[in-house]
Amino acid sequence: MLAAWQDAVGVIAELLGIQYTTFSLLCLTAFLFVMIFELLTIVSVQEQKINTLSQMVGLLTEKRPEQQDEKQPGQASDDGRP
Res 56: pLDDT: 94
Q: With respect to residue 79, please indicate whether it lies within any of the assigned structural domains.
A: no
The predicted structure's pLDDT at residue 52: 97
Q: Please count the structural domains in the chain.
A: 1
Structural domain span for residue 19: 8-67
* Contact between 23 and 12 (Cβ < 8 Å): no
**Domain annotation covers residue 73:** no
- pLDDT of res. 23: 87
Return per-residue pLDDT of the chain as tens, 82 residues. 667 777 888 888 888 888 888 888 888 899 999 999 999 999 999 999 999 999 999 999 888 776 776 766 665 555 555 5
Cα dist. 76→18, 21, 59, 72 in Å? Answer: 82, 82, 27, 9
Query: What pLDDT shows up at residue 72?
Result: 62
